[in-house]
Every structure is written in C-alpha cells, then in structure tokens.
Amino acid sequence: MDRVSRSSRSSLTQRITPEQDQTALRAPAATGFCLWVVSTCVKILLFPAYRSTDFLVHRHWKALTRTLPLEEWYFDDRHVDTVHTLDYPPGFALWESAWANLYQGFVDWLLPSMGMFDDGDSCLQLLADERIQQDPDVISSTCVAYLRSTVVASDLLLWIGAYAVASACGSAQSRPFWTVFLLITLHPGLLWLDHVHFQYNGMLLGWLLLSVGCLMHGNQCNTGKGLAFHAWHLAAAVSFAVLLAMKHLYLTLSLWYFAYLLRRYCFVKDKFSWFRLTSLGLVTFTTLLAPFLPFLWTAYTSTSMTMTAQLHQIISRLFPFSRGLVHDYWAGNLWAIYATSQKVGAAVGITIPTPIPLLVFLLLILGLIPGSVYAWKAARLRCNYLLLLSLSYSTWASFLLAYHVHEKAIMTTLLPLTLCQFLDGLFGVCHFVSGP
C-alpha cells in the first residue's frame, strides 16, 4: 500500500490531456449525446419488463406526497392500509413529491401530443395493498410509463457524477475519461436494479460520485489555498449531505468523510484551522437541515401536531429496528451467515441470540476504522488511488456489518472499486477495454 501510494501520487493527481493520448476523441459532445440516446432507448425498451414490489413502493410514495398534506406524509398508514410506508428521509420525500406534481402535465400535455390518452386516473391515488392485489390492472400502462420515465430522467444525476470522477482522470477527449465514464453510466447492475427491478440507485450513486469527484479534483490543487481548493471540498461536503438527505443509509460513510476532509481541508501546512472546520460543519449541517424545515414548520403551525412528534415519527420511520437484523432478501454479509447459524441451531434445539442494534453498531464502527485511517493517509498524500481504495473498503465494511442491509448495497462498493482498479494501473483497464 505504501509503495503504491508513493509511486502513484504524482500521476494519479494529474489529468491526462488529449496531447498525451494518441487515441483522443475529437468530438466528445457528439459522442456523449449518441451514448445518451442509445442508452435511453434501451431503457425505454425495458418499460414493459418485470417490475418488483419496489415499483408499488415508489408509486405509493408519490401518491401520498400528492394526496396528503405535508405533515401527514410520515403518518400515511393512518389514511390507507399499506405496508409501503414512507421510510426515506425528507429529501427523498420532496423528490418524490416533485415527480408526483409533474404527473398531471404528463397526462394533460405529453400524452395528447403523442396521440395517446390516459387509460386510468388511479395512478397517484392512495390505494390499499389489498385492492392492488385483487386488481393489478388498476395500475395503468400510462402510470408504468410515467414512473419508468422518472427513473430514466433521474439518471441525469448519475451522468453528472460519472463526469465528475471521469474528468478527474482525464480530459473529455481522452481515452481514460471515456473508459471511466462508460464503466459507470453503462453499468449492467444499475440497468437491472433501476430499469427492470425499479429503483433510483443511479440517482443516489450519482450524488456520491459527484462528491467523490470533487475530492479527486481537490487533489489536483497543488496548494491548500485558493478559491478552487475551497470550492471543491465544500462542494464535496454539500453533495454528501444531499445524499444523506436523500438516503440515510449512507450515514455509514460519515466517518470516512470526516477523516478525509478533516485532514485534507482543515489542516493548512500541518496547522489545524478551526475556521475551515466551522465552515465545513456549517455548510454540511445547513444542507442536512434544509429538507427537514418544511416538516418542522408545518408541525409548528399545526394545531394537532408538535414538532417533537413529527421529528420522532420521521426518525422512527428511518430506523425501524423492529424489521430485524437482515433484509427479507438476505445480503451476502456476516449477518446472513449468523442468521443461517440461528436456523441450523433451531433445527437441533440450540437457541442462538439475535445481536442487539448497539452491538451491531459497535462492530460496524470497528470495521470502519481501517478505512478511515487510510482516508486520512490518502488526504495527506493527495492520492486518488488511496482515496478510492479506502472508500471502497468502507463501503464493503458497511455491506458486511451494517444492520438490515439490502443486497443492492453492494453497488456502492463496486463503482468506486471499479475506478480504483483503473487508477491502479492508470492505463491497464483502458487498454483491456479500448484496445492497445
């Protein structure tokens, strides 16, 4: 590790220019547009494909944000019999609300312009689970097309994040840029998860990649001063805070971010800056707090609810420990092995206790410490390879040790690990993918 970080430091913090790459693309904008058209057409062709219950989850979330007053969003089980209750942070709830409010324009303007008409008006109505089970056709093809379209449109954030990390590896005309960009935007795992299974992983990972890309660009600043240096690192903190406001399960990366930004941004020539730490904390806290303010304000002005009750309800939805240690579809981690041993033990009359959340939390912290140590080292050396390697380790530790992990969480490890392998040889994967 030390040998790689020392030998690679200078090369991995510099962008490769078209003059250094004999196979540089001369029309990157046209190439990117063609790539977007082809990938979008493939995603549209998948509209009629199988879809999981997550489709019903997101349909319900859009319906409740469109139908119920804001203070009732996290109390939706009062209004309809469903198991698909809102359990994502307020940032994601507002994201769902934005798409829900655009639906009427989709029905009133876009469909007629295409010679089509809405074949059902129940798409974004609150529907009980039993009704949908008894009459699946209540979800119209128009509804499916619209919800699928929101995922396709949300992939714009994945492309922005991919551009952020790819541009840290080379110019938009260089082969390294396009190798990294293609590995992310055309990832088959995301195609399956988002455009068949139905989720918004690409959008969420786009925020993570945008944040990481800002950190990688920050390593190209030769000094710890200047507007660019401050902008890259504060933008990284804001992007990660937005990600947390959208999906709280990325909290496990907070220790990694704290270690990296503390060393890279808050130390000026090995002298600690309290002003920089305060600035970093202020922009992060403000970004995290902003999505909560509408909920707290409506509770404050309500005669039937208090701010404490609203906040307690949100937190109880975000951390439902009653759901158990493992997800319904077990992720291949430590707790899957433990749950298997419990079932085997029960078969032979041996009772193996279930770990309490506090114990799981302590084990997770222990597992995250090595990644944070190397994040500190990556910040000190300004090495993008170590940055990605330590991030990959931290996401892997989260996958193995966190509470109630979904199997899709492995994508958070695969994407930075893919970039890490690319930067290790700098051109190794590029030659393999693009030819000699």
Q: Find tokens 């003059």 and name the residue.
A: 19
pLDDT digit string, tens, across residues 16-55: 554 544 445 566 778 888 899 999 999 999 999 999 999 9
Return the HEC string of the chain: CHHHHHHHHHHHCCCECHHHCCCCCCCHHHHHHHHHHHHHHHHHHCCCCCCCHHHHHHHHHHHHHHHCCHHHHHHHHHCCCCCCCCCCCHHHHHHHHHHHHHHHHHHHHHHHHCCCCCCCCCCCCCCCHHHHHHCHHHCCHHHHHHHHHHHHHHHHHHHHHHHHHHCCCECCCCHHHHHHHHHHHCCHHHHHHHHHHHCCHHHHHHHHHHHHHHHHHHCCCCCCCCHHHHHHHHHHHHHHHHHHHHCHHHHHHHHHHHHHHHHHHCEECCEECHHHHHHHHHHHHHHHHHHHHHHHHHHHHCCCCCHHHHHHHHHHHHCCHHHCCCCCCECCCHHHHHHHHHHHHHHCCCCCCCCCHHHHHHHHHHHHHHHHHHHHHHHHHCCHHHHHHHHHHHHHHHHHHCCCCEHHHHHHHHHHHHHHHHHHHCCHHHHHHHCC
Would the pLDDT of 4 be above 80?
no
pLDDT by residue (tens digit) across 302-314? 888 899 999 999 9
**Tens digit of each residue's pLDDT (9 = 90 or more) over 417-434:** 888 776 754 433 333 333
CB 245 within 8 A of CB 196: no
Residue 426: the pLDDT is: 41
Stretch 52-64: mean pLDDT, rounded?
Answer: 94
pLDDT in tens, 230-268: 999 999 999 999 999 999 999 999 999 999 999 999 998
At 175 the pLDDT is 80
pLDDT of residue 112: 54
For the chain, what percent of residues have pLDDT higher than 70? 87
Least confident of 48-52, 214-218, 219-223: 219-223
pLDDT at 25: 58
**Given this model, what pLDDT does residue 236 score?**
98
pLDDT for residue 223: 73
Q: pLDDT higher for 104 or 284? A: 284
Q: Provide the pLDDT confidence category of residue 110 given band limits of 50, 70 and 90.
A: low
Confidence at residue 436, expressed as pLDDT on a 0 to 100 scale: 33
Percent of the chain topping pLDDT 90:
60
Mean pLDDT, range 66-77, rounded to an integer: 93
pLDDT of residue 5 exceeding 50, the answer is no
The predicted pLDDT at position 328 comes to 73
